[in-house]
Structure 1
Amino acid sequence: MKTKLIFLVLWFVVGCSSTKLVGTWKNPDIVLFDAYQVLVVGMSQDEEVQTEFETRMTERLKAAGVDAMRSIDLFDVEFTSSQKSEQELSEVEQQLLDKGFDAILFTKVVGTENKRTFRERMNNFSNLYTRFSSDYLGHQDIYYDPEYYETFNLYHIETALYCICVDKERELIWKGDFEVEEPSKVDKTIDAYIKLMTSAMQEEDVIF
């Protein structure tokens, strides 16, 4: 199977936030990939967000018949409080392998940028402004309305699935790149992200 690089424009609108799948990559040597025990890692400085994401993602995997565990249930506080070496991480992978894990689903924010947009106005020929005064009066809230322009952060998020199978390299199986607008409701945004991400994985015969 040839390498797939799929660009989709799928939007899940949640209040004032939205989640967009930018593209995916799948290992060209893998046709189907089934996992039986997956470690879910959501890398975040916000413990509540990490807990919420890992919990919901684990539940989604279990609903698909895949045994899954949250990283917060496996790694102690000291593990994430300091930087790790490649050797230490290799030892962690071996420990996971010894415990029966065959995959790691790793999600993290890889970048963020500030965006600015403005409230859309519906104009047509029937309400064209023929005088300066009318045009000014019709738009003067640009000066006074604090919500006329909206500033928000756009987060670039990446989810990668790694195999830690016996007698195989710890290789990348699948990766998805996403854009998420700054959420107004974190729980609903997490649900939208998981729904979009798992749908993309299912389309490419990865786990789901």
Structure 2
Amino acid sequence: MLKRWDHYLPSEKLQCRVYKRVPPQVRGQVWLRLLNIDQVKARNAGKYQEMKEAALVSSRDIMQIDLDINWTFRSHSMFWDRYGVRQRALFHVLAAYSVYDTEEGYCQGTSEIAAIVLMFLPEEDASWALAQLMTDDRHAMHGFFVPGFQKLLRFQAHHERVLERALPDLRKHMDEEQMSTGIYTPKWFLQCFLGRIPFSLTLKLWDAYILDGARVLTATGSAS
């Protein structure tokens, strides 16, 4: 399929295989193609290095980024070492994005998103993958993090309607116990379940999310 990507991309067969699970040895290649990273890099040749350098001079978020990366995926071997290779790459990706998207800058929560793509992509590719996840129409994660969190509120409202319609007894019990959906849904939707399910299942879900975008979140929230 990778050798005949243009042939398989729109096919149901590719979708079925991605939903089954992308083999870990080719996950980076698949994510890179699904997010159109090569095309984005070609349109922005040299820009990543420029953003890294600009961030060190002008980003207001550098200190917070440096603090947060030390707590990002610390149970994963790639991010164990303070200022190790992957921690430094994560710092560069987040710093560059903070000047790429000046409306959002850096928001706590994006570090885990950047980290999971860094597990399978080299630094510059991971930087553009983060930009694609935030800004392309299929994923549009930017809307979760801008001031007001309007997209998060819409997804939470959808989840509550699903509870009322599909699981009324559970919803009644939650109301009796004063259990708000706002307690658990932010981490579901802001980061597509990162840190909320076993890691092997996280990767399987992210394969589907990279392919299909936000509709995976609403479908998963509905199934839950």
> Do these two structures clear the TM 0.5 threshold for a shared fold by scoring above it?
no
Q: Which has the higher contact order (CA 8 A, sep 6+)?
A: 1
Larger Rg: 1
TM-score, reference length from structure 1: 0.29
**More strand by percentage:** 1
